[in-house]
Amino acid sequence: MDLFKVYPLWDIDIVRAEGSYVWDNKGTRYLDMYGGHAVISIGHTHPHYVDMVVNQLKNIGFYSNSVIIDQQRELAQKLGELSGKKDYQLFLCNSGAEANENAMKLASFYNGKSKVIAMRGAFHGRTSLAVSVTDNPKIAAPVNHTDHVIFVPLNDTEALENAFRENKNEISSVIIEAIQGVGGIRIASKEFLRRIRSLCDEYNAVYIADEVQCGCGRTGEYYASDWAGVQADIYTMAKGLANGFPIGAISIAPKFIPTFGMLGTTFGGNHLACAGAIAVADVIAEDRLIDNARSKGEYLMNEIKTMPGVREVRGRGLMIGVELFDDATELRKKLLFDEKIFVGSSGNKNIFRLLPALNITREHADAFLKSLRKLLTA
């Protein structure tokens, strides 16, 4: 059997990783400034993470959600403290797409409505409803097409207000990334997020903050939405939550009342996934990684802004988009094959993304900046 080839691959076989470095099967070391799509929060193979996962596996790796799993309660308590949402409720699943599916489903259960407002340039996942609210027709099959979704331009308050006004009592939820990742690190303005909050309150709609990529401390706040001082009804999480172990989660406001069978999953919240997520929460708190993300991100952005060929630098914390005047494809290749540094692409070919571990050091940052400046001035 061969693989179903849906991924364009670099000709590199990564076999080992530690901290902010990875090694290929030839022994070549690379600086990882991308973290596998913002997944690596605390560095590869962090000792506490490895210990927690290995020790958990020695006891039990999985049992179904038909029994008490204490690790779920421990994780809920730690995430409540980190996020400041101690009165929220936690539902665990397996991925970001699944988290967004469950969030929109829960919103529809709550208010009995069916339409969702999403943003142009958004990416919320590849499963049925998640891909329907993703603004990329190339990855949506005919079966995914629906008239339940209304797209509005990011930061267009008038279009947002019109969508609510024209659909009156049909809007179930608004789903938004406070910082669009795949869309090119596009930041939702504080005013726009606050208007979403007020309109959801006015029309009895649910505010869903998709924090799958921009959450878990990456932007210098636990949730990127926190920069606007707004409180969403539901927060979705996944990528950075367990440092690479598959997990998804939704943090749910107290006004939502659960009933048996409303949501469900076979693997979500299993012992092993929770152990990984607990370890990540421990390290983020103990090593003050949210503060580090903010300070190292400011340093990187300020330095990159001074370089030739750079049109704009956007982002918060360690979620950074660099837009060049020219196509960034060749630069990314040179960074990877000449400088041995991984960075990410985006939906805009002129933009590359930086999504490193939250515990990168000044040494890591300076090594990247030196290589980038060399290539941009060549």
Q: pTM value?
A: 0.97
**Contact assessment for residue 239 and residue 344, using Cβ atoms and an 8 Å cutoff:** no
Neighbour-count burial of 187, counting CB atoms closer than 10 A to its CB (0-12 exposed, 13-18 middle, 19+ buried): buried
* pLDDT recorded at residue 378: 84
Specify the CATH class of 14-46+288-377 in words: alpha beta
- In this chain, the answer to whether the domains covering 14-46+288-377 and 47-286 adopt an identical fold is no
Q: Three-class SS of residue 321?
A: strand
SS (H, E, C) 23-49: EECCCCEEEECCHHHHCCCCCECCHHH
203 falls in which pLDDT band (50, 70, 90)? very high
What digits encode the pLDDT tens for the residues 17-42? Answer: 999 999 999 999 999 999 999 999 99
pLDDT tens track for 255-293: 999 999 999 999 999 999 999 999 999 999 999 999 999
Backbone angles phi, psi at 104, to 5 degrees: -70, -35
Give the model's confidence band at 109: pLDDT under 50 very low, under 70 low, under 90 confident, else very high: very high
Mean predicted lDDT score pLDDT of the chain: 97
Tokens of 223: 């949730």
Q: What percent of the chain has pLDDT over 90?
A: 99
Size (the chain), residues: 378
Asked if pLDDT for residue 168 goes beyond 90, the answer is no
> In CATH, what number does 47-286 get?
3.40.640.10
Closest CA to 359 of 260, 300, 290: 290
- Helix, coil or strand: residue 210: strand
**Nearest partner of 177 among 186, 164, 166, judged by Cα:** 186
Please say if the pLDDT value at position 226 is more than 90: yes
Query: What pLDDT, in 10s, does the model give residues 39-57?
Result: 999 999 999 999 999 999 9
Domain ranges across the chain: 14-46+288-377, 47-286
Other Cβ atoms within 10 Å of 308 Cβ, number: 9
